Amino acid sequence: MKIFTILAAAALPLFFGCSEAETKKADIDTLFPQKIGNAEFSAKIALTEREKAKGLMGVRQMGENEGMIFVSDFPHMASFWMKNTPIALDIAFVDAQGKLLEVKQMFPHDETAVRSSSSDVCYCIEMNRGWFRKNSVKSGDFLDMKKFYEAVKQRRGAN
């Protein structure tokens, strides 16, 4: 009887299958629709330490409204550099509630650390230089957390 139970449990996925949403998670190259303030953009979501360490290294160009969001598990003072990154970027430091705290410029191949002023940073958004100004996104604006959480959920492969 015990062997039958084990075989039946193993066969259930064959009979019912798994939906694609349950088995497939989005990879690092997937762009997710996002919004901050009144500006819409698409972003890759960097979750793992490896993804965050690589960031946009080697990227020679991005679409006008494309970027990357770096996700931290806890609030901290963030620090970024531009090693092997040939494009000019702006970085927005965002707290756990999605509030944009500040935006700083980053220069191609500059290995000098760009640090947040706040130790409350949970998310960092890198966009092409001037994107935040061009789209009237400023300190105090909020990231659409519903869209953001949905993207993180898809990246992690959660239901």
pLDDT at 19 over 60: no
Largest pairwise CA distance in the chain: 69
DSSP string, 80-92: E--TT--S-EEEE
Please give the angle made by the CA atoms of 152, 90 and 59, to the nearest 5 degrees: 70
Report residue 21 CA to chain centroid gap: 19
Is 60 exceeded by the pLDDT of residue 109? yes
Q: Which CATH architecture has domain 26-156?
A: Sandwich (2.60)
Residue extents of the structural domains in the chain: 26-156
Token pair recorded at residue 9 = 């449990």
Share of the chain above pLDDT 90, in %: 82
pLDDT at 25: 83
Sign, Cα dihedral of 73, 141, 55, 90: negative
